[in-house]
Amino acid sequence: MIEWLLLYFPYIGIFLLIVLGGIGFPFPEDLTLILAGQLAYSENLNIPLLVLVCFIAIIPTDYLLYYIGRRYGSHVWRLKLIRKYLTPKRRVFVREQFQKKGDIVVFIARFVGGMRTPTFITAGTLKMSPLRFLFLDITASLISIPLFILLSYYLGQAFAEKFQIMTHKITLIVMALVAIFFVFAALKTYWEQKKRV
Domains of the chain: total: 1
Residue 61's domain comprises 2-161
User: Is residue 5 a contact partner of residue 12, using CB atoms and an 8 Å limit?
Assistant: yes
Task: Indicate whether 170 belongs to any domain.
Answer: no
User: Is residue 35 a contact partner of residue 17, using CB atoms and an 8 Å limit?
Assistant: yes
Task: Indicate whether 179 belongs to any domain.
Answer: no
Task: Indicate whether 71 belongs to any domain.
Answer: yes
Q: Which residue has the higher pLDDT, 17 or 2?
A: 17
pLDDT at 18 over 60: yes
Task: Indicate whether 192 belongs to any domain.
Answer: no
Task: Indicate whether 197 belongs to any domain.
Answer: no
Task: Indicate whether 183 belongs to any domain.
Answer: no
51: left (phi over 0), alpha (psi -120 to 50) or beta: alpha
User: Is residue 121 a contact partner of residue 66, using CB atoms and an 8 Å limit?
Assistant: yes
Q: What is the per-residue pLDDT for 49? A: 95
Compute the distance between CA of residue 169 and CA of residue 112 in angstroms, rounded to an integer.
40
Task: Indicate whether 16 belongs to any domain.
Answer: yes
Task: Indicate whether 108 belongs to any domain.
Answer: yes
pLDDT at 177 over 90: no
Q: What is the per-residue pLDDT for 102? A: 74
User: Is residue 50 a contact partner of residue 36, using CB atoms and an 8 Å limit?
Assistant: yes
Q: Which residue has the higher pLDDT, 101 or 170?
A: 101
Residue 62's nearest CA partner among 128, 132, 139, 121 is 121
The Cβ of residue 188 has, within 10 Å, a number of other Cβ atoms equal to: 10
Q: What percent of the chain shows pLDDT beyond 90?
A: 22
Per-residue pLDDT reduced to its tens digit, 154-172? 887 665 555 445 544 554 5
Compute the distance between CA of residue 50 and CA of residue 62 in angstroms, rounded to an integer.
18
